[in-house]
Amino acid sequence: MSPRPLTVAYLFTTFPKSTETFLQREILAMQALGVDLRIHSLWQGGGTFNGIEVRRFRLWRLISLIWIIPWVTVTRWDLMSQLLRGLFTRRAPSWINFWENMLGAGFAGVMAGEFRRQKPDLVHAAWAGGPATAAWILSRLTGIRFSSAAHAYDIYEHGGDWWLMEKLRDAAFVHTSTEMACATLAFRGLDRARIQVIRRGLVRFPAFKALRVTRDPMRILCIARLVEKKGITRQLEIYAALLRAGMRFEARIIGDGPLRDSLMRQCRELCLEGLVRFCGHCTQEEVAAALAWSDVLIHTGVVAPSGDRDGLPNVIPEAMAAGVLVVTSPAAATTEAISDRESGRVVPMEDLGAWVNAMRELKEDSLFCDRLRRAARAWVEREFDAHLNASRLHRLFMDARVEIHRDGPPGR
């Protein structure tokens, strides 16, 4: 008799979300591995995804907390007292994070009975904010073990999520996609042995395109949300430096965000109109076409004043896989994929001359470019295969189930 499928309840803030394709790839890979997926979206989203029902939580159900909270207070004071201590002894890093955590806690209170009846093998939080709060409290209320991802936003924005360490210390394991995030969590006191670095990945590798023989004008692509941590303000200054140096180029910026108007105004002030095009949000097909068009992907990530920063943006390995040269700032975890002069170029943000020189070298030295491109593709095939990486995550899910079945659910 074949073993029954592994049942995992995945908790998202919003699913599916067009800007979070890496999570969609993870779900597709888990589905291919035969996991029985129960997907819950706490805030928006819903419907179906590749034939899987996505259950969107209805906020009106929070009204039942009127009697659930007193009941939990009486029957599970150990849990309620811990939540109250966290609520009243320190401030949330932001109002958004406060309400995300409150939503996660409310979801857990409302849904605990349903999870107790359905008994998934594991609850997995796709984010360490509201979804991890929901998974953590569900585990305390039902005895169902949980695991959590921890992305750069969860760890660094305004110093990190409100209840980050309390939640992650109770998780069966914590999944991060960069060594940077792993080192930060270990420094903050999480057991290093329980942090699993498993990168994201591509479901299919694109064809490795030929290097354009004459890269004049240089075709430069940026794929980024228009927010502070992407450093687009400085990127426009790089384009202005290229213009002053007499280098011919065309640049396209794919993405949207709150800084769009100010960036377009800066573009006009730097006399870059006609050279830099803001493309807005694009479909995956349009992004693939832009990668096929481009010679170079430029990434100018910085640490935002809020502390937010990138981990390893998916667009970098995607460009590496396609044969697009990558020039990046050294901020965050980009250097885990791009080693300077080995698989791309890493250039200090403050040195405009270095950016100009790097671009000129990539324009003129085809042998150097091909060496970088081959090394980049090899890194992606080794580190960024969604099926291989999903298999590693699946094994962690299976190990958690085995431990639960051997020892019984953790009593609290």
pLDDT digits (tens, 9 = 90+) for 330-366: 988 999 999 999 999 999 999 999 999 999 999 999 9
Q: Which of 175, 126, 156, 159 is nearest to 9 (CA)?
A: 126
pLDDT digits (tens, 9 = 90+) for 369-379: 999 999 999 99
Output the pLDDT for position 83: 85
pLDDT digits (tens, 9 = 90+) for 124-149: 999 999 999 999 999 999 999 999 99
Which residues touch 200 (CB under 8 Å, ≥6 apart)? 22, 25, 26, 177, 314, 317, 384, 386, 389
Check: pTM over 0.85? Answer yes or no: yes
pLDDT digits (tens, 9 = 90+) for 222-237: 999 999 999 999 999 9
Domain 218-383 = CATH 1.10.10.10: no
CA distances to 61, 72, 77, 87, 289 from 66, rounded to whole Å, are 10, 11, 17, 18, 52
Output the pLDDT for position 221: 98
Write the burial class of residue 271 (CB in 10 Å: 0-12 exposed, 13-18 middle, 19+ buried).
exposed
Instruction: Using the predicted structure, report yes or no on whether residue 6 has a pLDDT greater than 60.
Output: yes
Q: Which of 197, 198, 221, 201 is nearest to 209 (CA)?
A: 221
At 240, list the tokens: 């202005």
Output the pLDDT for position 409: 45
Task: Lay out the sheet containing 345-346: strands in order across.
Answer: 276-280, 249-254, 218-223, 296-299, 325-328, 345-346
At 124, list the tokens: 């997995």
Give the rounded percent of residues in the chain with a pLDDT score beyond 70.
97
Output the pLDDT for position 411: 42
Q: Are 294 and 221 in contact (CB under 8 A)?
A: yes
Q: Do β-strands 52-56 and 47-49 pair in parallel, antiparallel, or remain unpaired?
A: antiparallel
For 191-204, give the DSSP string: -GGGEEE----BSS
Cα–Cα dist 141/378, whole Å: 46
- DSSP conformational letter for 332: T
Which residues touch 202 (CB under 8 Å, ≥6 apart)? 25, 317, 318, 321, 380, 384, 385, 386
- Provide the 10 A C-beta neighbour count for residue 294: 25
- DSSP conformational letter for 258: T
Q: Are 124 and 398 in contact (CB under 8 A)?
A: no
Output the pLDDT for position 407: 52
Beta strands in 258-322 (DSSP E): 276-280, 296-299
Output the pLDDT for position 3: 64
Which residues touch 247 (CB under 8 Å, ≥6 apart)? 218, 356, 359, 360, 363
Q: Which of 189, 76, 60, 54 is nearest to 138 (CA)?
A: 76
Output the pLDDT for position 21: 86
- DSSP conformational letter for 319: H
- Provide the 10 A C-beta neighbour count for residue 25: 20
Q: Where does the chain hold its CATH 3.40.50.2000 domain(s)?
A: 7-202+385-407, 218-383
Residue 301, beta-bridge partner list: none
Output the pLDDT for position 19: 80
CATH architecture of 7-202+385-407: 3-Layer(aba) Sandwich (3.40)
At 185, list the tokens: 């969590």
Output the pLDDT for position 365: 96
Residue 251, beta-bridge partner list: 220, 276
Q: Are 333 and 310 in contact (CB under 8 A)?
A: yes
Q: Are 135 and 159 in contact (CB under 8 A)?
A: no
Q: What is the mean pLDDT of residues 23-30?
A: 91
**Measured in whole angstroms, how far is the alpha carbon of residue 303 from the centre of its chain?**
16
For 76-108, give the DSSP string: -HHHHHHHHHHHHHS--SSHHHHHHHHHHHHHH
Write the burial class of residue 77 (CB in 10 Å: 0-12 exposed, 13-18 middle, 19+ buried).
exposed
Instruction: Using the predicted structure, report yes or no on whether residue 412 has a pLDDT greater than 50.
Output: no
